[in-house]
């Protein structure tokens, strides 16, 4: 547990939250700054800054809980036609709480959420150059 981490406080029960589901390794609760109605956060009970340092068992627990919540969101929120699963790693990628977490964001026709990424065809030479660095 990290002393100054809001999510560690939620896990410990010292900071209030609206819990939706929990397991022995993960907790899901409503986001207080939702991108869309029903936006959830899924966090491991054990503190880690982001996916890079989270234990494999914690990642598994968080992912499986998020998977079940995606089904619940689509089944129980009839207007929801899909969902985004999002992890932000680092401040430049919009991470604002430095405790590993996944966003489960229900999506609705014409909802207000817009990510800054707009897919466009990439430069094949650049793609291949980056590929070479990653293999």
Catalytically active residues are 101
Name every residue whose Cβ is closer than 8 Å to that of residue 28 and which is 6 or more positions away in sequence: 19, 20, 21, 22, 40, 41, 42, 43, 65, 66, 69, 104
Report d(CA 51, CA 30) in Å as an integer.
20
């Amino acid at each position: 547990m990290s002393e100054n981490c809001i999510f560690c406080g939620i896990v410990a029960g010292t900071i209030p939250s609206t819990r939706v589901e929990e397991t022995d390794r993960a907790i899901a609760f409503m986001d207080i700054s939702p991108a869309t109605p029903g936006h959830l956060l899924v966090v491991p009970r054990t503190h880690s800054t982001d996916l890079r340092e989270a234990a494999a068992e914690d990642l598994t627990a968080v992912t499986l809980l998020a998977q079940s919540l995606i089904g619940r969101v689509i089944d129980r929120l009839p207007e929801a036609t899909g969902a985004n699963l999002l992890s932000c790693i680092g401040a430049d990628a919009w991470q604002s709480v430095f405790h590993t977490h996944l966003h489960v964001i229900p999506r609705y026709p014409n909802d207000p959420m817009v990510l800054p990424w707009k897919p466009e065809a990439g430069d094949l030479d650049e793609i291949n150059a980056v590929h070479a660095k990653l293999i």
